[in-house]
Amino acid sequence: MTLPLGDASADQLRALADIARRFVKDTLRTTVEQNILFRWVSEADLPEFYQAIKAIGLGAADAATIVDVTACPGTDTCKLGIASSRGLARELRYRLGEKSLELDAAVKNLRIKVSGCFNSCGQHHVADIGFYGINRNVKGFQVPHFQVVLGGKFHDNAGEYGVPIAAVPSKRIPEAVLSITEYYVRQRVKDERFQDFVARIGKKAIKDLLEDLTKIPAPDVDRSYYTDWGDPREFTLADMGVGECAGEVVSQAEFALAASERELFEAQLLLDGGRSQDAVKAAYAAMLHAAQGLVKSQNPAVSDGENEIVAEFTRRFYDTQLFWDKYAGGKFAEYFFKAREFVRDGKAADADRAVQLLQEAQLFIDAAHGCHNRLRATVETAVKIENAAQASA
């Protein structure tokens, strides 16, 4: 039985308790997909049972379908939340629900799961189509985005994790879902499962499919991109920390971070081609490029040498805790250090280790974006304070 977004009112819960007593002798279970399971309902009781749950507004026939989107609390209540996972899930439920009778059977059985940040509370890593919230700085504005994660396996006891494909503005995620599912219906071979389709068609083809959706109009053209689902206010990270002044060269960090994401995607393509060792080296190079961008924001004269970049990153960002996450501590920087050690030691990388390292590289780059945004916020705050002081002088 579906609980939309995992929610039920107090009255509905009391009614569910009465229904459980009537039909299953108090036997209820919650599910990992945020629904309620009634065990051992008699077949003869099914019509009456359905009328009972329908009467309390819980009779929707979309459990375990693409309409039944799983989402963590996100920015509604969680301090770790970056983007509104529940807001996006609500919009996806609405749009997919409208089309549910038209959906191809292969699409109807897909799972969508949404997390408000890189943590996996919304189970995005084992979804057919998963999303986790991130933010991106676009010409001085914070814009909510979601990383699109494809290829996870909910079946086979979460037999495989998906990998990030592209960062798409939050307001264009419903279009991304439509593009991906329609592409799947058009291009799949008979009875091909979604995970097999993603592996066959290749991540580059899907990334190219989503390319137009990553573009963001200027604020004076369409302001909606700069707000999150269910919140008309301009998007911001209210608990963003304050670090040292980044100076006016912060644009170098933006350039390097964008380049590092392209490099990491190239690493994914190498992995898809069976070149695990090359994929690991390319992923580490992407992490190094992201670290270099941050370092240049404080030391424009830093060389392109690996040792100097790592030393400067360690001194300026790790040791000072500028790069540290409020809750994860220095974990993401440590992914960078471990990747460097792995590559320098010349260790052999099988496919599983390569997948893990690429996932850690993505988290490091996302954390670098967050660090860059905190530094930029410091600059903007300092400018506002200085302007206010000059105005009052």
- Length in residues, the chain: 393
The 3-state DSSP class for residue 180 equals helix
> What is the structure's pLDDT at 238?
52
Task: Look up tokens 């994401």; give the residue.
Answer: 261
Domain locations in the chain as residue ranges: 4-55, 65-239, 240-393
Q: Enter the pTM of the model.
A: 0.73
At residue 215's C-alpha, the angle toward residues 210 and 217, to 5°, is: 150
* Beta strands 28-30 and 36-38, pairing class: antiparallel
Tokens, residue 25: 């002798």
Note whether 281 and 343 are within 8 A (CB): yes
Same fold, 65-239 and 240-393: no
Task: Look up tokens 């929610």; give the residue.
Answer: 7
Report the distance separating Cα 137 and Cα 366, nearest Å: 12
Positions in the chain whose pLDDT score sits under 70? 158, 237-252, 379-393
User: Chain centroid to CA 348: how far?
Assistant: 29
Report the distance separating Cα 124 and Cα 33, nearest Å: 12
Report the distance separating Cα 152 and Cα 165, nearest Å: 12
Note whether 134 and 145 are within 8 A (CB): yes
Report the distance separating Cα 339 and Cα 329, nearest Å: 18
Report the distance separating Cα 249 and Cα 230, nearest Å: 35
> What is the structure's pLDDT at 334?
95
Residue 337 backbone phi and psi in degrees, to 5: -65, -40
Amino acid at 206: I
The 3-state DSSP class for residue 36 equals strand
Bridge partner residues of 142 (DSSP) = 137
Tokens, residue 96: 């997919």
Residue 82: DSSP 8-state: -
Residue 34 backbone phi and psi in degrees, to 5: 70, 30
- The residue among 222, 223, 148, 144 whose CA lies nearest residue 178 is 148
Residue 224: DSSP 8-state: G
Superfamily of domain 240-393: Nucleotidyltransferases  domain 2 (1.20.120.330)
Dihedral of alpha carbons 339, 342, 343, 348, sign: negative
Residues whose CB falls within 8 Å of the CB of residue 171, separated by 6 or more in sequence, listed in order: 144, 224, 225, 227, 229
Q: Is 341 exposed, middle or buried (0-12, 13-18, 19+ CB in 10 A)?
A: exposed
* Arch. (CATH architecture) of 65-239: 2-Layer Sandwich (3.30)
> What is the structure's pLDDT at 380?
60
**Straight-line distance from the first to the last Cα atom of the chain, in angstroms, rounded to the nearest whole number:** 65
Distances (CA, A) of 142 to 86, 261, 306: 19, 18, 31
Residues whose CB falls within 8 Å of the CB of residue 226, separated by 6 or more in sequence, listed in order: 141, 142, 143, 219, 234, 235
Task: Look up tokens 């997390």; give the residue.
Answer: 115
